[in-house]
Chains A and B, each alone.
Chain A
Amino acid sequence: MKAEDTELLKEFTPEQVAKLDSIIEKHKGKAGGLIPVLEEAQVCLEYLPLPVQKRIAQGLNLPLSRVYGVVTFYSFFTMTPRGKHTVRVCLGTACYVRGGKAIAEALEKQFNIREGETTEDRMFTLESVRCLGACGLGPVVVVDEDVHGRVKPAKLKEILSQYH
């Protein structure tokens, strides 16, 4: 077994690795194939760590630096694993002045992570957004697809307890 396979299999199942290879195979040799490969790979593997990017670079015959440059450029791509649920705190102007910052800080404290990171149990990923167009409800927290308005730091535990 090749070294990069063992590196990959530490994180992913053999089925996932096989799927990754078939994604690479599908787009190989086509101009502009990198971005679709990255998109499909992320859907399949949830995130794009170093061994995955190496596999893609090798498969598409590209320098690793180019793959890394594209992955870091687009906010859609992530190099850290995502939580089961995504928590987005609005830090747009209206939410910010109504206490959005305090909500973000409380979440960081509660999760023991910083913005952009994922909790150790991979339940929650914490992100911030700039205005969701729901300023009247500020401060707003969105968990997955659910919008929670007029959030206070004390209410966070109760909100999050709905998500397992």
Chain B
Amino acid sequence: MSTVKLTIDNRPVEAPAGATILEAARSAGIKIPTLCAWPEIHHTPGACRVCMTEVEGQRSLIAACVFPVSEGMVVRTNTEKVRKARKMVVELLLANHPQECNFCVRNGSCELQKAAEFVGLKEVRFPCTEFPQKEKIIDRSSPSIVRDNRKCIECHRCVTVCDQIQTVSVLTPAFRGSAVKVTPAFDLPLIASNCVACGQCILACPVGALYEKDDVDAVWAALQDPAKHVIVQEAPAIRAALGEEFGMPPGSLVTGKMTAALRRLGFDKVFDTNFTADLTIIEEGNELLKRVKEGGTLPMITSCSPGWIKFCEHFYPDLLPHLSTCKSPQQMFGALAKTYYAEFAGIDPKNIVSVSIMPCTAKKFEAQRPEMAASGYRDVDYVLTTRELGRMIREAGIDFENLADEDYDAPMGEYTGAGTIFGATGGVMEAALRTVYAVVTGGNLPNLDITPVRGLEGVKEATVKVGALGDVNVAVAHGLGNARKLLDKIREGKADYAFIEVMCCPGGCIAGGGEPIPTNNDIRLKRSAALYADDGKVQKNRQSHENESVKKLYDKFLKEPLGHKSHDLLHTHYTKRGTEMPHGQGR
């Protein structure tokens, strides 16, 4: 690649041809503030105007995020003119922004707050303090995501993530000038749109205009109620990210601290979603083998990710028979909590409150699906995101970082390495192949690490020799834009796979819409690495069928995989959501 030489703040800098001033400056360790640019997803609309710089020979100030470098260019990022302009831009952004920072959900992680600090803003001369239409503007229709357009700064990152990465295309900029706003078509409430509730827009939002529907107060109320037996499950991805909420470095594996913190919050039993992840593998692995043997619909596609399920229901309803009928681990756990566990502990299921901690906003939607009441009660009562759990732990005054590790409760806490890697893209596939291989051949895979399905490549393929079945072709996609590639292949009859894993969010659950902010590719890799370390180094057993508690569950309660009880409690059906909101991806 050819490079160009330029000068930034009197220092010689070399940058690739075609790079922007912002990229060149960053690579040279010179910080330029920006609220809209997000080069990782190729989003540089030049909309926020905070990244003003002076370029010799240019009449006006230049937006560094969109202006390409050229040979001999002389850039200044720290002149009186630049500092004044940046201050003014941030001041104007704040002038019609609610002055609610102290109790905003993004207090402390807000990029506008940081930009104000960066540019040294000392006052907002024209603060807008009243929003009489507040409750009319805030869209609380979705069980997962709240949209507060008062706080939107029109950076359009959410639009790009929704349209280009997830290809769901719910959000659009609409109107123009001072009336411009980000909205679903026809100002529809999110719940009436094609929104799949993945929450990637939340991770993209620099401010508090998009956030999870908060269920913290409802969980506090359950914990305070002496008549209630409150139990909790945590998804694999939580243990690889929760530490970040307390300033620990990304990739810290905090399983034991998380368990200890949950006990201190007052949960009566601390179980683990990983337990039902192992169970999912037993059911799903057997379902796959049954489909292969009996000529069922193939390729079979995983069904753990509720954003992915809703996407398939809206956009590919013709492919629903490809979905595994297995519920997600969260919902398997919920159904067992108020049947198997209630029986085990001798507690009336109506007094059990089942809470789950998820990296995911779509899980809130999933828990509310009408069919998710197999136990005769709501299987999962409340879903909290990683961020919400972080807030509860802070509110309770728990010194998270210095907690001593604690262990799970029986009978739904034990898990294997296969259960824990569910949190990363490729993990469900790897876990399933380990067990399918063992069921078919009676022995273990020669190497339990199936590395071709790991990592951040958008679509991954692998072929594994599974005894009498011969070569089994599998594929893995993460991010819904990547999922489309495989789904279109199935539609064209060109998908020569037995099994496909789809996770809704880029990177998998470790980068779900409920995970700590910021989440970027570097952090995705670190969180996945933590899960693979849990699998490879921490857990004694690495295959779901080695989970003793799962074996006991079958012996005492379920009897057999795909049996009668499993059918009632652990399997589900899907809803064709039609196409009344067009969603084509033509350009």
Which residues does A use to contact B, with CB under 8 Å?
3-4, 29, 31, 50, 53-54, 57-58, 60-69, 72-73, 75
Q: B375: CB under 8 A from chain A?
A: no
What B residues does A72 contact at CB under 8 A?
174-176
Contact, CB under 8 Å: A61 / B172: no
Q: Which residue of A lies closest to B162 (CB)?
A: A65
**Stretch in contact with the other chain, from B163-171, B346-354, B426-434, B504-512:** B163-171
Could you show 12 A-B contacts with beta carbons less than 8 Å apart?
A58-B579, A58-B582, A60-B584, A63-B163, A63-B172, A64-B186, A65-B169, A65-B172, A67-B185, A73-B173, A73-B175, A75-B176
Q: B60: CB under 8 A from chain A?
A: no
Once the chains are docked, how many angstroms separate the CA of A67 from the CA of B587?
11
Contact, CB under 8 Å: A62 / B170: no
Once the chains are docked, how many angstroms separate the CA of A75 from the CA of B179?
12
Give how many A-B residue pairs fall within 8 Å (CB-CB): 65
Contact, CB under 8 Å: A63 / B173: no
Taking residues whose C-beta sits less than 8 angstroms from the other chain, chain B's interface range is 20 to 34
Once the chains are docked, how many angstroms separate the CA of A31 from the CA of B587?
7
- The 6 A-B pairs with the shortest beta carbon distances in the complex, nearest first, are A61-B584, A63-B169, A57-B582, A61-B586, A65-B172, A69-B172
Once the chains are docked, how many angstroms separate the CA of A58 from the CA of B585?
10
Q: Which residue of B lies closest to A7 (CB)?
A: B580
Q: B581: CB under 8 A from chain A?
A: yes
What B residues does A50 contact at CB under 8 A?
186
Which residues does B use to contact A, with CB under 8 Å?
163, 169-176, 184-186, 579-587
Tell whether A68 pairs with B586 under 8 Å between CB atoms, given A3-B580, A63-B163, A63-B169.
no
What A residues does B584 contact at CB under 8 A?
57-58, 60-63
Once the chains are docked, how many angstroms separate the CA of A57 from the CA of B580?
11
Contact, CB under 8 Å: B171 / A65: yes
Once the chains are docked, how many angstroms separate the CA of A66 from the CA of B169?
8
Contact, CB under 8 Å: A66 / B172: yes
Contact, CB under 8 Å: B582 / A68: no
**Chain B: interface secondary structure?**
loop
From B171, B581, B584, name the one whose CB has the most chain A CB atoms within 10 angstroms.
B584
Q: Which of B185, B579, B580, B583 contacts A68 (CB 8 A)?
A: B185
Contact, CB under 8 Å: A68 / B176: no
Q: Which residue of B lies closest to A60 (CB)?
A: B586
Once the chains are docked, how many angstroms separate the CA of A79 from the CA of B167?
26
Kindly provide the distance from the CB of B350 to the nearest chain A CB, expressed in whole angstroms: 42
What B residues does A73 contact at CB under 8 A?
173-176
Once the chains are docked, how many angstroms separate the CA of A63 from the CA of B185?
9
Q: A63-B169, A73-B175 known; 14 other A-B pairs, CB under 8 Å?
A: A29-B586, A54-B582, A57-B584, A61-B585, A63-B163, A63-B185, A64-B186, A65-B185, A66-B163, A66-B169, A66-B172, A67-B185, A68-B186, A69-B172
Q: Which residue of B lies closest to A73 (CB)?
A: B176
Once the chains are docked, how many angstroms separate the CA of A4 from the CA of B582?
11
Q: Which residue of A lies closest to B583 (CB)?
A: A63
Once the chains are docked, how many angstroms separate the CA of A65 from the CA of B586?
13
Kindly provide the distance from the CB of B167 to the nearest chain A CB, expressed in whole angstroms: 9
Once the chains are docked, how many angstroms separate the CA of A66 from the CA of B183?
11
Contact, CB under 8 Å: B582 / A64: yes
Contact, CB under 8 Å: A68 / B172: yes
Kindly provide the distance from the CB of B9 to the nearest chain A CB, expressed in whole angstroms: 38
Q: Which of A54, A64, A69, A75 contacts B173 (CB 8 A)?
A: A69
Q: Which residue of A lies closest to B167 (CB)?
A: A63
Once the chains are docked, how many angstroms separate the CA of A96 from the CA of B427?
67
Contact, CB under 8 Å: B170 / A65: yes
Once the chains are docked, how many angstroms separate the CA of A3 from the CA of B579?
11
Once the chains are docked, how many angstroms separate the CA of A92 from the CA of B42?
42
Once the chains are docked, how many angstroms separate the CA of A80 from the CA of B176?
17
Kindly provide the distance from the CB of B204 to the nearest chain A CB, expressed in whole angstroms: 16
Once the chains are docked, how many angstroms separate the CA of A61 from the CA of B585?
6
Kindly provide the distance from the CB of A130 to the nearest chain B CB, expressed in whole angstroms: 12
Once the chains are docked, how many angstroms separate the CA of A66 from the CA of B186?
11
Tell whether A53 pairs with B585 under 8 Å between CB atoms, given A65-B172, A73-B174.
no
Q: Which residue of A lies closest to B587 (CB)?
A: A31
Kindly provide the distance from the CB of B576 to the nearest chain A CB, expressed in whole angstroms: 14
Kindly provide the distance from the CB of A24 to the nearest chain B CB, expressed in whole angstroms: 12
What B residues does A69 contact at CB under 8 A?
172-174, 185
